[in-house]
Amino acid sequence: MIATPPISSQNTAFQYLPPDGAAGSPNQSLMPLTARVNDRDHLEVGGCDVVELLEKFDSPLYIVDEATLRAGCRQYRDAFREFYGGESQVLYASKAWSNLAICAIAHGEGLGIDVVSGGEIHTALQAGVCPSKIYFHGNNKSRQELELAVTHGLTVVVDNWLDLETLVAIAADSPTRVMVRLTPGIECHTHEYIQTGHLDSKFGFDPNEVDAVFAFLAQHRDRLTCTGLHAHIGSQIFELQPHGDLPGVLVQWLVKARSAGLPVDELNVGGGLGIRYTESDDPPTIREWAKTIADAITAACAAQGVIPLPKLLCEPGRSLIGPTTITAYRVGSTKTVPDIRTYLAVDGGMSDNPRPITYQSLYRVVTANRMSAPCDRTVTVAGKHCESGDVLIKDAQLPELSTGDILAVPATGAYNASMASNYNRVPRPAAVLVSDGEANLIQRRETYSDLLRFDCLPDRLKG
């Protein structure tokens, strides 16, 4: 586990809060945009007191700020309208957190949805998302998933030859819209597990296969309509240069596709913009990212003589949902190892946030029920699971705490609920959507009975 960077301020809780009336780029804020401290010295999000939320919904609890989510959606949407001269479409990468309410909000703000499984397809459709705005990704799509996508009229982002061969076999009455995912060979400074643009990746066709793929699509244009090209270079990226390099590669492939007779008029640059997990993180704003992409596509098209500009798509996930959410826990036991460290255990951990143990990810934490208390203790916030690596935050700066105090970890909207597990048979948490002082359940807390729903006990083993 990597220790969090040292903090000089004795009371760190307030430096995490956005300024009053903050309307900045959500991905640059450690807390949801509506976070503040109320007159009870409690953390408040979306007009809701976090302490009261736990009294009503129990803990651990994912608390999602609707205003922050809508702000992110609008900033992406409006930035491309401002900086790009052609048509654009922002898609929410729902693998970050596929949930009915979240998909419905994104769709209501004009976004489409990027899905990577049959379950995510079903969720997006049930949330009311228009099928023409759902794009289906994945490096090993099953036949059943592809049939589901074709039946509902989704756009399939083909990743390999099996995708192409299966689609040709099942597409019948009308051609299926497809985009081709290609590996651009662009690397960026991020965790190796979330680099997807370099050549040694399980995703996408290798550049050496481009001609053969385009020839196959031209041969089967009666069943497959290739409308666009897709590439994605990774996730949690703070550099703008790789995103500025990608459009030039895509436009070159677009020219080649058109010369092969394919009606390609869409380019999808993926997502990958990073967010602030600690105060040392400094990601670009959504507007800066969008302008970089728009300018680079425009320049590349001008250089290649591509007129009119192709439709531009992108797929933000983490930068939309990550900053919206805090996870609230109750403090349980403590253990002090003299001259080494103090462990402070909470009632959750790696089952509701597997990112620290998986990616060595860093987080911050505040005491939600005593926000102004001096943060003069260094402790390691540990989870409750039977796993020595179940540590959420090492060397956190907190006040002296007691059993029952409430901790809030910000920036937990992306890849927490979506990667949550039932390790140790721990039920997954509830999630609430907060807005203007109102809290609505968007994911109910699992019960012990839920944990047994799919267990089967053979008759011969019954007592």
Q: List active site positions.
A: 386
Q: Which helix (H) or strand (E) holds 102?
A: helix 100-108
Residue 438 φ/ψ, nearest 5 degrees: -115, 135
What six digits make up the tokens of 188?
A: 């960026």
Query: Distance between CA 153 and CA 225 in Å, rounded?
Result: 12
Closest by alpha carbon to 69, among 272, 365, 319?
Answer: 319
What six digits make up the tokens of 336?
A: 């002090």
Query: Distance between CA 266 and CA 268 in Å, rounded?
Result: 7
Q: What is the largest CA-CA distance in the chain?
A: 76
Q: Give the three-class secondary structure for 183.
A: coil
Q: What are the residues whose beta carbons fall under 8 Å from the beta carbon of 63, sequence distance 6 or more?
A: 45, 46, 48, 50, 53, 325, 326, 327, 328, 408, 431, 432, 434, 439
**Residue 82 burial by Cβ neighbours in a 10 Å radius (0-12, 13-18, 19+):** exposed
CA distances from 381 to 16, 352, 408 (A): 18, 14, 11
CA distances from 330 to 70, 79, 132, 368 (A): 29, 40, 43, 10
Strands (E), 243-285: 266-268
Q: Which helix (H) or strand (E) holds 72?
A: helix 66-83
Residue 433 φ/ψ, nearest 5 degrees: -100, 125
Output helix, strand, coil percentages for the chain, rounded to the nearest 5.
35, 25, 45
Strands (E), 206-347: 224-230, 266-268, 311-314, 325-337, 341-346
Q: Which amino acid is at 238?
A: F
**C-beta separation of 92 from 113 below 8 A:** yes
